[in-house]
Amino acid sequence: MQQDFILIGAPVDSGASQPGCLMGPDAYRTAGLVQTLQNLNGKVIDRGNVAPRPQQEKPHSNRALHHLAETISWTKALSQAAESACETGFPIFMGGDHSLSLGSVKGVADYAAKQDRPLFVLWLDAHPDFHTPYTTQSGNLHGTPLAYVTRQQGFDGFPDIIHPVDPKNICIFGARSVDPAELKALKENDICIYDMRAIDEKGIVGPISEFLRQVSANNGLLHVSLDVDFLEPGIAPAVGTTVPGGVTFREAHLVMELLHDSGLVSSLDLVELNPFLDDRGRTARLMVDLTASLMGRTVLDRPTLSF
């Protein structure tokens, strides 16, 4: 069955402190994302890169915060682009730092509400990104998307969250760097989080399958947000927030294969690729390969399941 893939470039650099993520969308194109999806019987519509409207910066009580107005503009533009793309196909948001998910998840949630279906979010990331503009000590807004889309307090000036994501519909997978303020907020909101110790103990299949059963039982739409730092830095060096101890090459592909088998994924973020930090494009190619596994690339004319 042919799938229509809607590529949306999000050259967002405002949410991180290490410049370079703005080159991400073109790096994915150069690494062959379009051809890869076409080879999987997909029709690819590349809508180009989103461009936000300039907005005047305003002072904030958290002096560490930076690029607040720019990030708000990105959120507005990307939420509109996301909702529109969901109407016609499977959106893939090519980032860009993880603050792009402020807009992509909001837009997908608005679309899900129109369909009278709940939105579920699988957050593949070394960080839970559950800060608010007031609690972040780094001032990097790429650490705030999940707090925003669950309608936590402190996002003054951002577009109103009319259709918040239920915290119980979120699974953070692969975490290994959590700040105290985030940990407190995660516990208060009863968010499911599997850190790397839990993955080491329980493996990949059980936790992912349990979450997918929840999505299926509730007839949910599933948004997957894949951060480069989900991966072990040795295989994916092109990220400004490397954290040792990430998932391996095969573990990452297994996650993608399980997601494909479920048939539940309806939208995807590819975030935090910083080509300036890459080694001859190896991280970009790996992210494209993982996308291919998510979309059903086969080995020996069958899904890459064990014999």
Instruction: Cite the active site residues.
Output: 98, 125, 127, 129, 142, 227, 229, 272
For residues 100 and 39, what is the distance between their CA atoms, to the nearest angstrom?
A: 27
Q: Do strands 265-271 and 221-227 pair parallel, antiparallel, or not at all (unpaired)?
A: parallel
The owner of tokens 């957050």 is: 123
Burial 28-53 (b: 16+ CB within 10 A, else e): bbebbbbebbeebebebebeebbebe
For residues 145 and 200, what is the distance between their CA atoms, to the nearest angstrom?
A: 26
For residues 167 and 183, what is the distance between their CA atoms, to the nearest angstrom?
A: 14
Tell me how long the chain is. 307
Structure tokens at 131: 């800060």
- Would you tell me how many other CB atoms lie within 10 Å of the CB of residue 18? 15
Task: Sort 142 into a burial class: Cβ within 10 Å, 0-12 / 13-18 / 19+.
Answer: buried
Structure tokens at 221: 């739409």
